[in-house]
Amino acid sequence: MSPAVLAACLLAGVGTWALRVVPLLLARRRAEGAGERPGPLRPYVDGFLSAIAVASVAALLVSGLEPYLVRAAGEVGAGATGAALREVAALAAGLGATAGAYLWRRDVALGTVGGAAAYGLAAWLLGV
Amino acid sequence: MVFAGASQFVAVALVAGGAGPLVTFLSLLAMNVRHVFYGPSLTGRLGGRPVPGRPWLWGSFLTDEVFAASVAAVDRDPARVGDRWLLGLGLGAYLAWAGGTFVGVLGGSASARFPAVDAALGFMLTALFLTLLLALVDTARLGVAVVAGVVCLTGSLLSTTATGIPAGMVAGALYGASRARPGLAGAP
């Protein structure tokens, strides 16, 4: 890697830090002035920020599912319906096990590891 | 240097493809622009509690996963989430990420010899995001998740996931903002 590209990565690291920390510091300053009269847009800004957590996790989940769905759709397009069904079955097993393991104990780690193990096993057994 | 998983993949692809420093810098930064919302969103969920100390330090670890896990913890028990808790979570995630990268460099494609393990590792992030969504979502926020998911999928299919993810996030949050009513702080 050239020194210039290395410097670009270093600057991107500093930029990423600023992208995370500067808005956080501004939000803290705003929170400290909580007694001030809120502007008319404040409820909508609060609504946006309140929803961004669910929105980002939902978007990240879909982006994780997309390759599996695209692969299954490609197999259907190529006439390999059996392979697509096995792909979908393994995915359903993984998602079902993830949800089941999480809801059983309300434990994020258990849901993640249990779901991943179930998907790995199903994919191996089904030859995905 | 840049604690962000997606950026790592982009950086490898750019460097391997011979991209210049300016393109590399701008691409990596663009990948992480969505993180500007994470700090304000997290502090907004504290319900009037003071923002934990040293935000310049624990805030630097606010990746997608750390943010989602922090929000889920704040929703469960805000009193538990102080600066040490946030720092511990972020540092743990960073060490796991750096350690995993190191093992990956040493081990190469060793997991490919074990198809079940390889498939399980590939599914791990998807399973993590599903559990975090289950921890965060309720009836009032279901619409936000659906809008974000549909827009993300559409954006990813029409362009790339680098476009689909921020588009889905912003669309879902805008839907949430549109449901807000003056006087109902934090709706939906």
pLDDT in tens, A75-107: 999 988 999 999 999 999 999 999 999 999 988
pLDDT of residue B187 exceeding 60: no
Does ipTM top 0.95?
A: no
**Which of A60, A107, A124 to mutate to probe the B interface, most B CBs <10 Å?**
A60
Closest CA to B166 of A55, A111, A94, A29: A55
Nearest CA in chain A to B146: A58
**Whole-prediction pTM value?**
0.79
pLDDT of residue A27 exceeding 90: no
Give the model's pLDDT for residue B108: 66
More confident residue, B44 or B131: B131
Nearest CA in chain A to B138: A54
Give the model's pLDDT for residue B186: 46
CB contact under 8 A, B165 and A60: yes
Token duo for residue A109: 């780690």
Half-sphere exposure of A24 (CA within 13 A, CB side): 25
**Which of B12, B132, B136, B150 to mutate to probe the A interface, most A CBs <10 Å?**
B132
pLDDT of residue B185 exceeding 80: no
pLDDT in tens, B118-158: 899 899 989 988 998 998 888 888 999 999 999 999 999 99
Closest CA to B35 of A13, A31, A17: A17
Closest CA to B132 of B47, B60, B63, B57: B63
Judged by DSSP in three states, B51 sits in coil
Give the model's pLDDT for residue B4: 81
Say yes or no: B180 contacts chain A, CB-CB below 8 A: yes
